[in-house]
Every structure is written in C-alpha cells, then in structure tokens.
Amino acid sequence: MQKAAVFLGFIPWIVFSVVAGPSTWMWAAVTALACSVILSVPNWRLSRSISVLDAAGLLFFGVLVVLVLVLDRATLQPIEDRAQLLSSIVIAVVALGSLVVGRPFTEYYARQQTPRESWDSPAFKQINRVLTAVWGLVFVVNALCDVAVASWGASPDVFNWVVPIVAIVAAVRFTGWYPDHVSGRDEPHGAHEASGPPAQTA
C-alpha cells in the first residue's frame, strides 16, 4: 500500500486542525469540506464508492458549514471553543470504530493496489488492522493534546503543533514500512533465489 494513499484521506482533517482557531474555524470547515469533495469525486466516478474517511469528512464538515449558515455566533460559541477537539474525536472514533466492526478503513486504499485474491489473506488483514490502529491512536493523541491545551494550560506550540506533527510523520513512515515488513517476513525462505534466472550450465 502506498503511504500517500492513506495520508491523502486525512488531508481534510489535517487542514481543519491546522486552520481552525477561535476566529477561523468556520473557514477551516469550508476548506476541509472542499478537500473532502475533491478527494471523493474521483473515487466515486471510478468505482461508485468512497472511503469511510471521505464519507465522515463530507458529513462532519458539511454539518459544520450548515450550522455556520443557520446559527448565530453566540449559539456557535461552544463549537468554536472545541472545534479542533471535536474533529480529532470524530476521526479517532471513525478509525478505531472501523477496526472494532472488522472493516479497517485502510483496506479501502489497500484493495486499490492489491490483487483481489489477496484480500482475504491473513497478512492483508493483519497489515490493515495494525495500520488502522496506528492512525486511530494518532488522532487519540491529537485529541489529548487539544485537551491538554484547553484544560491544563499546556503549551499550544508544543501540543497543537510539535506533538501532532511528529505523530503524523511517524504514522506516515510506519505506513510505508510495515506492509513491506510483513510481506517480507511472510515470504517463503529462498523465494528470491527461486524466482531468479536459472543457473547457466556448460
């Protein structure tokens, strides 16, 4: 699985987390919704399906945009104060929820790059369970960082920027490494030698 495919699915959520603030979360919601639409349309036109991340993004950011249009500023204040925390909680629930129900969200991306006959293999299932758990934990960490800043007065620079960015970069690198690690581990010993050219004989 190409790590970029999974990372792209998180782009709307990352954009929202970066842009959202006390006076900018409404524009962040509009921007994130636009990103969700841009990511969803090609997949829908190609396969008449979208990933659970895209579906969650369209719903969550779409609801936020509608609330902005129909509610006054005072009513929206609780959402404004917790916008980043809400987005982190929602995406963590979506990711870990897909794991709980036995449909890890990363399978959507993996199936686009894996032969159909491998979809039910133990290695394929294991890879996607682990990757889904890792990304779910990343957004749990992001949610805890938001709580640390809002409730405990922790440094915004550290907990709104450094820790989330480090966690996301680590998850991206792990997503690129882990599938190859499992595939290489499960490959029968001597497979590379067996697949090489036959030895020359005199």
Do 123 and 185 contact (CB within 8 A), yes or no?
no
Is pLDDT larger for residue 94 or for residue 114?
Answer: 94
Closest CA to 91 of 132, 128, 49, 56: 56
Stretch among 92-101, 145-154, 193-202 having the lowest mean pLDDT: 193-202
Q: What is the pLDDT, as a whole number, of residue 185?
A: 67
Mean pLDDT in residue range 24-43: 90
CB atoms within 10 A of CB 158: 13
pLDDT in tens, 46-89: 888 899 999 999 999 999 999 989 988 788 888 888 888 899 89
Do 120 and 171 contact (CB within 8 A), yes or no?
no
Q: Is the pLDDT of residue 190 over 70?
A: no
Q: What is the pLDDT, as a whole number, of residue 161?
A: 86
Domain residue spans of the chain:
3-184
pLDDT band for 3, please (50, 70, 90 cuts). low
Q: What is the pLDDT, as a whole number, of residue 202?
A: 38
Q: Is the pLDDT of residue 196 over 50?
A: no
Mean pLDDT in residue range 108-132: 91
| Maximum Cα interatomic distance, the chain, rounded to a whole number of Å | 88
| Six token digits for residue 136 | 């779910």
pLDDT band for 197, please (50, 70, 90 cuts). very low
Residue 85, C-beta contacts closer than 8 angstroms, at least 6 positions apart:
143, 146, 147, 150
Q: What is the pLDDT, as a whole number, of residue 16?
A: 87
Closest CA to 131 of 170, 161, 93: 170
Q: Is the pLDDT of residue 43 over 90?
A: no
Q: What SS3 class is residue 2? A: coil
* 93, amino acid identity: V
Is pLDDT larger for residue 83 or for residue 133?
Answer: 133
pLDDT in tens, 134-166: 999 999 999 999 899 888 888 888 988 899 889
